Chain A
Amino acid sequence: MSIDWITVLAQIANFLVLLWLLKRFLYRPILDGIDAREAEIAKRMADAELAQQEAKAAERQYIKQRAQLVSEQDALLEKALQATEKKRDGLLSDARTQLQQEQQNWRKYLEHERQAFNQRLQQTGADALLRLTRKALHDLADEHLEDAIVRHIGQRLKPIAAELVQAAAGSQQAQVTTRDALPAATQALLQKEVQQWLPDVTLSFATDPQQSPGVIMQVGGAQVAWTTDSYMDELAELLTQHTSSVAAVHLTADGR
């Protein structure tokens, strides 16, 4: 057992060389490779974590957007419902307005028809009344209606003679208007009756088809009338009351 110091020095040198070689070709590459791989794994883990976080964020965004869409859908639905209700109310209002207008038009038409009917009825009634009166006077008393009226005028002028004279104010002409032309005898009779109270007045006769049966005399600023208008008014009032009650019954029956 001996120590060769030259060999010891050579072995120390060999050991140092081996130390450098292994450090250069073994430890550093292996450890650096391990570190790089661990760094790569850590990076991938970080990337995966980041991707997971992004996925979670995307999921949260998706849920938020879906909730927002549902909310918007509800709002649109609510808005559409409100618009529909508004449209329905408008249509109902229009229908009610139209119905009221039609009812109003119908009432106007009914009123118009009633008035036309009354007018026709009044006209027909007046004609019938006059014809019957005339016929009755002729059949029962052998007298004309116009003659009877003229005689009656004479009696009616008596209480108002003073007023007529004053109204005539010196006028010598009076206008007598009838619906049908008076017979000459009747005209002479009327002239005679008037001259009892207005001796200076001369009568002129005229016809008016629109006038009611009877006599209207215009003296200066005064007018004296003996017509069937008052009777016709009473008849019209009776007819109006009758037709109004009938229309009311009809409207009530329609309103059921």
Chain B
Amino acid sequence: MQLTPDQTVVFTLGQWQVNATIVNTWIVMILLAGISMLVTRNLRADKAPGRWRSALELIVTMIQGQIEEVTRSSARHVLYFAGTLFLFIAASNVLTVIPGFVPPTSSLSTTVALTLSVLVAIPLFGIAKGGVRQYLRKFIEPSMIMLPFNIIGEFSRGVSLAIRLYGNVMSGVVIAAILLSIAPFFFPVVMDMLGLLTGFIQAYIFAILATVYISSAMADPPLDTSDKDK
């Protein structure tokens, strides 16, 4: 039994073996980008939105609303990043209902890649907002002693993000495969329904956590109480 689609080689490009994780990621990408292109190709301000456009507007505004609730601001760059995380993870998890499709999020390589993206994005957003000095200063808050703990905390939350998503998705797929061998007609349906729910929840949690980390990096530093006392 294969626990990760990384081990499934779909085709080979020269010496590079293209595995199912990458191919399935491309499928999800084509699906998301294709639908977006089809719906938004002829947008006009004076024309009433159609059914598909309304659905996309609803999704985007919901994501934007959630991000604004967390960050208390309406930065579009955060929306692009966190929204893409959510849509990619959610679409990957939803596609588990298609028989034979292994979601790329069940690959630790994918979750690590997404986590690395988040870990890189956090300082980038923080530096873009307040500069390098302000971002680095957070590691020595409230005192210099906290520097190693803050560094460990920064990496550990990245690791937890990756492991959480990978564990949940991979376990769901594995359990579904095991139950399919025991009771092929009943349990897969239930597990797929649960998989849809947990898939959305995982996508939401991953995106929200990423947003929280980014917003904490973008947050203004606390006021210096010693200066205030003077």
Determine whether A230 belongs to the interface, using a CB cutoff of 8 Å to chain B: no
User: Would A4 and B6 be within 8 Å (CB), given that A22-B87, A33-B45 are in contact?
Assistant: yes
- B79 interface neighbour in A27, A33, A36, Cβ under 8 Å: A27
Stretch at the interface among B101-109, B126-134, B175-183, B221-229: B101-109
Segment touching B, from A5-13, A53-61, A238-246: A5-13
Chain B residue with Cβ nearest A27: B80
The answer, yes or no, to whether A1 is at the interface (CB within 8 Å) is: yes
Q: What CA separation (Å) do A22 and B19 show in the bound complex?
A: 24
Tell whether, in the assembled complex, residue A14 and residue B25 are in contact, meaning their CB atoms are under 8 Å apart: yes
Cβ of A116 < 8 Å from any Cβ of B?
A: no
Contact A21 B116 (CB under 8 A): no
The answer, yes or no, to whether B72 is at the interface (CB within 8 Å) is: no
B190 contacts A by Cβ under 8 Å:
no
A40 touches B6 (CB 8 A): no
Task: Tell me if A37 and B45 are in contact (CB < 8 A).
Answer: yes
B187 at the interface (CB under 8 A from A): no
Q: In the assembly, what is the distance between CA of A39 and CA of B46, in Å?
A: 11
Also in contact, A7 and B84, with CB within 8 A (given A1-B108, A12-B113, A12-B116): no
Number of residues from A at the complex interface, CB < 8 A: 34
Question: CB distance A10 to B22 under 8 Å?
Answer: yes
- Cα distance A8–B116 when bound, in Å? 9
Residues 102-145 of A, flagged 1 when their CB comes within 8 A of B and 0 if not, give 00000000000000000000000000000000000000000000
Contacts of A4 in B (CB 8 A): 6, 19, 21, 109
Hey, which chain A residues are within 8 Å of B87, CB to CB?
A: 22
Residues of A within 8 A of B110 (CB): 7-8, 11
* Nearest chain B CB to A28 CB, angstrom units: 9
CB atoms of B49 and A33 under 8 A apart: yes
- Tell me, in angstroms, the Cα distance from A25 to B33 when the chains sit together: 7
Nearest Cβ distance between residue B13 and chain A, in whole angstroms?
11
B112:A8 contact, CB within 8 angstroms: yes
Is the Cβ of A15 less than 8 Å from the Cβ of B37? no
Scan residues 1-35 of chain B and give those whose CB is less than 8 A from a CB of chain A.
3-4, 6, 16, 19, 21-22, 25-26, 28-29, 32-33
Contact A7 to B109, CB < 8 A, known contacts A25-B36, A26-B36, A30-B40: yes
6 CB contacts below 8 A, A to B, read A15-B113, A16-B117, A19-B81, A25-B36, A30-B57, A33-B40
